[in-house]
Amino acid sequence: MVDSAWSEDNDAHDDEQSGVGEFEEADSPEDVLEGSSGTATVGGDVLNEDEADGTDGVEADSDGSNPRREATESDENGVGYANIPDELTARDRWVCWKVEERNGDETKIPVDPQTGGRASSDNAETWASFSNAREYHEHEDTDTAGIGFMFSRDGRYAGVDLDKCVDPSTGDVEPWARDIVERLNSYTEFSPSGTGLHVIVEGMVPPDGSRSGNVEMYDEKRYFTFTGDVGMGAQKPVEKRVGALKDVHTEYIQS
């Protein structure tokens, strides 16, 4: 049995299966980004709503500091475009999104940047390039709230959504979320609400479920909103984490 607990001395993550290279020494979550959350949403019909409880902003600490980074000149309409990894922006898997009310709840709806109509997770014709999604979102006549990335099984990326794991007033991350961020040690950002995290990796989500409690992971038929908000830490690339993703799935989804 593979020991899924992460430590510097644990050989289980070295030379991971499926050709994954050495598992690098993980930074602490505070070094990775010092906070975050997010939501995965189905393109088309069923959507997983992010929290719409008014916590879209992160309050300042008691000493007046803020655990999240300040907006920069690269931010446009709430998106830190410069922080999103180039390997993702090079793919034509981008959409925009807007908030609509469904059954009394606010839901993030994917938008086709080419037509302004509904984008679908099973129709690549409704996805666009990063530049097209950015241009559509920034246009003064559109009512979109941001941009998003569609996952598809014929791609190589997976997204892990850690919901309700960040205290927006302090930036403190729940221990279980810190554990996942450290194990995956890949590109991580705040979700739009600021109360959770999105981690993007190269890998495939194992079968036997994709959601348990506040942890979700997908590699197809979903999209993630992208903020480019990596917190106070440095931006990280998308890393290959096949074995680590399997371990996290086993412990947090299957158990």
pLDDT in tens, 41-56: 333 333 333 332 222 2
From the candidates 16, 112, 189, 198, give the one annotated as an active-site residue.
198
* pTM recorded for the entire structure: 0.73
**Where in the sequence is the domain holding 103, given as residue range(s)?**
27-51+72-254
Q: How many CB atoms lie within 10 A of CB 61?
A: 12
Q: Known catalytic residue: 202?
A: no
Contact by Cβ (8 Å): 28, 165: no
Q: Known catalytic residue: 174?
A: no
Q: Known catalytic residue: 216?
A: yes
Q: 186-241 pLDDT, tens per residue?
A: 999 999 999 999 999 999 999 989 999 999 999 999 999 999 999 877 789 999 99
Report yes or no on 5 lying in a domain: no
Report yes or no on 173 lying in a domain: yes
From the candidates 51, 161, 179, 229, give the one annotated as an active-site residue.
161
Report yes or no on 62 lying in a domain: no
Report yes or no on 34 lying in a domain: yes
Report yes or no on 103 lying in a domain: yes
Report yes or no on 10 lying in a domain: no
From the candidates 189, 216, 219, 239, give the one annotated as an active-site residue.
216
Structurally, how many domains does the chain consist of?
Answer: 1
| CA angle (222, 32, 48) in 5-degree steps | 20
Q: Known catalytic residue: 3?
A: no
Residue 160, pLDDT > 80, answer yes
Report yes or no on 16 lying in a domain: no
Report yes or no on 240 lying in a domain: yes
From the candidates 34, 50, 163, 189, give the one annotated as an active-site residue.
163
